[in-house]
Amino acid sequence: MALKHVGRIKKSKNKVVVAYRTIPGDAKSAVVVNTQALSADEHDSLMIQVESQAGQSAYEFAEMMARASLPDGRNMLAAFHTTGKMMKVAVEEVEMQPDHQTTIPLNELNQMIADQKGVTIDELALQPNVPAKTESKATPVASMQTADIKAPAQDSVLSDEDLAAQYRSQADSLYKEAKALRAQAEDLVPTTKKSKAKATASAAG
């Protein structure tokens, strides 16, 4: 099965997962996760997200990382950033490996995507405060409002201000979604009816 977001550093052949194929204001740079720096649990958690339908539907894999948790409960994107497991590299240093037989230089892949979308490579970057684009077969998870992720600043991977803004955006979006889901649940089975049903069941027992 061909997988998006998976690649390696050309010279070292070290495996990486590409969080951002390109970044705002610096189309020649990408942000990758150095998989060799991860613990076994972190690596397994990362690959589960990569191989998931939502992960494969994500425009940039960092969107998925921002919604995922590690086994110890930490947010994946924040944890990898703060522990130095994400690094900014030149796109020319990365080659994508969707399967064992295929290798595509990241700079060529970016050009192909830009050509398909009819935009420049500079316009491919996930822009701050703009909902991320998803593939046509995006799952509901991939198209959630929590995709309002700030891309890394030009001179750093992700600043504390970027992360704080991202967390607030996610919290607001999740609150709205939770409220909407509760409303839908009430429409299906009102809380009062459920309470009465439990009381009736208890009486019958």
User: Measured between alpha carbons, how far is 166 from 187 in angstroms, rounded to an integer?
Assistant: 32
Q: How does pLDDT run across 106-126, given as a tens digit for each residue? A: 999 999 999 999 999 888 887
* CA dihedral over 194, 200, 203, 205, signed as positive or negative: negative
**H runs (alpha helix) in 52-159:** 53-57, 61-65, 76-82, 106-117
Question: pLDDT tens digits for 160-186?
Answer: 666 666 556 665 656 666 666 676 667
This prediction has a pTM of 0.62
Rounded Cα–Cα distance for residues 44 and 38 (Å):
9
For the CA atoms of the chain, what is the radius of gyration?
20
pLDDT in tens, 54-72: 999 999 999 999 999 999 9
Distances (CA, A) of 88 to 8, 10, 18, 81, 105: 13, 15, 10, 11, 16
For residue 171, count other CB atoms closer than 10 A to its CB: 11
Could you tell me the CA-to-CA distances from 132 to 91, 128, 198 in Å, in that order?
Answer: 20, 9, 44
Distance CA 108, CA 100 (A): 18
Per-residue model confidence (pLDDT) at position 171: 59
